[in-house]
Amino acid sequence: MFVGTASDVGKSVITAGFCRIFRQDGYQPAPFKAQNMSLNSYATPEGLEIGRAQAVQAEAAGIACHVDMNPVLLKPTSDQASQVVLNGRPIGTQTAYEYFRANDRHELFAAATQAYDRLAARFSPVVLEGAGSISELNLKRRDITNLRMAQHAGAATYLIADIDKGGVFGSVYGTLALLEPAEKACIKGIIINKFRGDARLFADGRQQLEDLTGVPVVGVLPYFRDIFVEEEDSVVLAYKQRRARLAGRVRVAVVLLGRMSNFTDFDVLNHDARTDVFFTHEATEINEADIIILPGSKNTIADLLALQRSGLAAAIVAAHAAGKTVVGICGGYQMLGRSVEDPDGVEGRVGAAAGLGLLPVRTVLQGEKTTRQRQFSFRDERPASCRGYEIHMGQTLAEGPPHPVATLDDGTPDGYFAGPHCWGTYLHGILDNPVVIDALLAPHTRQIVSAPVDFVAFKNEQYDRLAALIRENVDMQQIYAALQS
């Protein structure tokens, strides 16, 4: 199990790396995270919802994702409330106060341990990931994710600290000092992550940490930018907002929403040599783009109203009138219509909001969530060779004849195509398909300057590179010895 001194220290990426290592070494690993809080989610082959990070880790392990890998998923709907997804299905929305009441947690911990036990009966080793910090004293007795789960699993547990944040000695020492003896007994080693420079310069630091804590430092992982593994947390978007303008490339602006979901929809597009992708919440930057994409949202009406208040909505409409391409995915598709209605209060107290009016559709939000993987044909493409997935709570109807973006494998139409400069779809992952990216970029490029990215092969190469980096910088003999003890 990999736990952290804090959030965003690298637990998800390191867990993915070890899933790939164990697969390379002939084992049958699987990832597990009892509770995930994320707006990035994924639909399993069975049509159930889990955190995207566990789907990525399963991919690194070479297996299909399953709901047992992430039995509890929290999807924030506001600053104080989240939708609770249990065993792949939403069971309601709760405030943080309601969620952390002890009686709720007993049931959730039972569900989490049952999911782990089912997974452990099919795979070995199970690679567990913790959440946030393991030393949050006010939350620990209700914890279902960190050392309580490690004790249930009998997991050899490794504490990860991000040295790039600063204060690594205080964070490691303080974290371990706050553990109870039975909890500290789980900890078999410390991994220092994101070290810049020559790790030999930290030799004294390693020894000092071991002397202070009595726990060995089993690895010092370097800071890297040249290995791509999907990020779990939206905090990384702060670093993706702007980058140097690249001449000759198609400028793609992804609108930063307050409750933006599934920002991984743009990873393939971002790796295409024809594009220059940036994330923005500034109306003045919309005009710099050739293509504007409204992404998914966990609270469509709230994000739509925020766009209107900020002037972004007007800027997007004006950009479309000036010939720019505007595309909406999931919640973004709903926003591009004439209205979004919430008669049952699925998202909140606001019953309806006017959309941007770029597509002749209206959306009614509904309590039942659609979650499924899809094979589909894009526009007139035959046969249905594209893949994506749906995660949404709403039905969108065209006012007039349908003009679908895609035809699903069961013959159902999806989305609305108003032309190459404006369309919307419910399909997450639609931009992972080369035929879609080529069609999106075609109005803005005179020629194809590079072949589409084989993203499956690319990701597998990245998992292998991550595994090699970990092997080079972590004492794998100690890891395997701890697994056997």
Would you state the structure tokens that stand for residue 160, as one six-digit string?
A: 């990860």
Report percent pLDDT > 70 for the chain: 94
Query: Which residue type does 376 have?
Result: F
Using CA atoms of 246, 251, 255, 256 in order, give the dihedral in degrees to the nearest 10: -10
Would you state the structure tokens that stand for residue 432, as one six-digit string?
A: 């992972």
* 71-87 pLDDT tens trace: 999 998 887 888 999 99
Calculate mean pLDDT across residues 244-249.
70
| Catalytic choice (320, 392, 428, 444) | 428
Would you state the structure tokens that stand for residue 364, as one six-digit string?
A: 């009614």
Lowest mean per-residue pLDDT among 52-61, 170-179, 195-204:
195-204
2 vs 128: CA distance, rounded Å: 6
Q: Is the pTM above the cut of 0.85?
A: yes
Quick one: pLDDT band at residue 184, thresholds 50, 70, 90? very high
What pLDDT sits at residue 233?
58
* 113-147 pLDDT tens trace: 999 999 999 999 999 999 999 999 988 888 899 99
Asked whether residue 102 carries a pLDDT value surpassing 60, the answer given is no
Asked whether residue 368 carries a pLDDT value surpassing 60, the answer given is yes
- What does 330-369 look like in DSSP terms, one character per residue? THHHHHHSSEEE-TT-SS-S--EEE---SSSEEEE--SSP
| E strands, 196-242, in order | 217-222
Quick one: pLDDT band at residue 454, thresholds 50, 70, 90? confident
Asked whether residue 190 carries a pLDDT value surpassing 80, the answer given is yes
Calculate mean pLDDT across residues 203-231.
94
| Catalytic choice (19, 330, 386, 422) | 330
Would you state the structure tokens that stand for residue 384, as one six-digit string?
A: 């249905």
* Domains contained in the chain, CATH given: 2-229+461-484 (3.40.50.300), 234-452 (3.40.50.880)
Average pLDDT, the chain: 92
* 316-357 pLDDT tens trace: 999 999 999 999 999 999 999 999 999 999 888 899 999 999
What pLDDT sits at residue 245?
62
Catalytic, 106? Answer no
Catalytic, 386? Answer no
Calculate mean pLDDT across residues 233-242.
51
Strands 250-255 and 275-280 come out as: parallel
**Which residue has better confidence, 225 or 338?**
338
Name residue, tokens 């792949």.
88
Greatest Cα-to-Cα distance within the chain, rounded to the nearest angstrom:
73
Strand partners, 51: 41
> How many other CB atoms are found less than 10 A from the CB of residue 458?
13
Per-residue buried b or exposed e for 212-231, using 16+ beta carbons within 10 Å of the residue's own CB: ebebebbbbbeeeeeebbbb
Lowest mean per-residue pLDDT among 141-145, 233-237, 409-413:
233-237
